Amino acid sequence: MNFIKTICALILLLFFSNITAQNKEMCRYTETPTGFLMVFREGDDVLAGIEDLARKENIPSANFTGIGFASDVTFGFYDFKAKKFNPKTFSKVEMGSITGSIAWNEKGPSIHVHGVATDDKFDAYGGHILALKVGTGSMEIYITTFSEKLERKVEQPLNANVLQIPCGR
């Protein structure tokens, strides 16, 4: 009888420890000597995640690079006459390259990102990224931080959000 109780106790222990392990939130980033490493997983919104990190860690400014799988990426080509982006979305692609910067505006972190995506035929698409969701697998973003806070401001007549560089250095 003691043997059966012991086996039942072990089964319950394994069952509950498995539930606890599954309920643990996965770590999304870690600090590195030069900034941060982020790992996104299926369904994650990459741009929102980078903005959240910038806000949470109070990153003054940074640049970043990345690679990984995307369920959807929306590129935008800026129409200077209409002063807006013309979007085009691609699904189930591999991001061969992601590059961008983090600065600030009056609303908070301002992310500017470009990239190149390839499909299963190895056709490539690229440009300014308006939206990016992780597909099957993961996406890695390597962020290099800088000590000086940089800002972006909308400049006319183009209505473009431009990085401002302080003079005198």
92 within some domain? yes
pLDDT at 14: 53
93 within some domain? yes
pLDDT at 169: 60
77 within some domain? yes
53 within some domain? yes
pLDDT at 166: 84
Count of CA atoms in the C-beta half-sphere (13 A) of 94 = 8
| Beta bridge partner(s), residue 125 | 117
| Beta bridge partner(s), residue 114 | 99, 128
35 within some domain? yes
125 within some domain? yes
Structure tokens at 130: 């308006």
Q: Which segments of the chain are extended strands (E)?
A: 29-32, 35-41, 61-79, 84-105, 108-118, 124-146, 151-155, 160-164
157 within some domain? no
pLDDT at 23: 42
pLDDT in 10s for each residue of the chain, 169 residues: 565 655 545 554 555 444 444 444 678 899 999 999 999 999 999 999 999 999 999 999 999 999 999 999 999 999 989 989 999 999 999 999 999 999 999 999 999 999 999 999 999 999 999 999 999 999 999 999 999 999 999 999 888 889 999 887 6
pLDDT at 7: 56
Q: For residue 128, what are the domain limits?
A: 27-148
The model scores a pTM over 0.85: no
Length of the chain: 169
Tell me the CATH number at 64.
3.30.1330.80
**Number of compact structural domains in the chain:** 1
3-state class of 104 per DSSP? strand
> Cα(93)–Cα(71) distance, rounded to whole angstroms?
7
| Beta bridge partner(s), residue 101 | 63, 112
